[in-house]
Amino acid sequence: MIRIFTYILAVLFVSGCSYKHDSLYKESKNRTEQAVANTKKAELFQKDKIKIFITATYLDSLDYRDSKEYEEFVVGFHFPSIDNRELDKEKVLKNTFFKIEGSKPILVKKLKRDDFLLSMVPAANPWNSYYFVKAKKIDGNFVDLDIYIDGFKSIKFKFEKDY
């Protein structure tokens, strides 16, 4: 009798924990789905070889902040190691400039590997270099993020705002 009672108690305990865990999982899954929907990518080539892989995540619809006074992005740069030894990554990143709707952002900050914002980015990894780019709020339904890298063509990402 004690075994049956202990077994029932254990089943109730585990099912209670799984319910809480499930609701946390659903919230995390929804945020990840929104982040994927608000992420765009581009590849920069030289001599038919990928030199830089860029991802940009628009943080507008990801509810991690109280107010939406700014346009905010996390931009990641990946340098494939195959046939990319001659590219000075630090020099490339130092000569990279951002514009949002044709204006300079009010903040560009290199993110550390353990930064909270990287938890918002789908498939963030420690091999990429990530930047937080912040600009004044833009009116309209779309926002453009331009990335200028010395020695490469500029990249333009167009994001739809979440209203």
Closest CA to 107 of 90, 129, 130, 132: 132
Max distance between CA atoms of the chain, in angstroms, equals 77
In a domain, 127, yes or no: yes
Residue 102 lies in a domain: yes
C-alpha–C-alpha distance, residues 84 and 81, integer Å: 5
Could you give the percent of the chain with pLDDT greater than 70? 80
Residue 12 domain-assigned (yes or no): no
Q: pTM, whole model, 2 decimals? A: 0.76
- Domain contains 23: no
- Total count of domains within the chain: 1
pLDDT digits (tens, 9 = 90+) for 132-162: 999 998 888 899 999 998 888 889 999 988 7
| Contact status, residue 136 vs residue 71, Cβ threshold 8 Å | yes
CATH of the domain at 126: 2.60.40
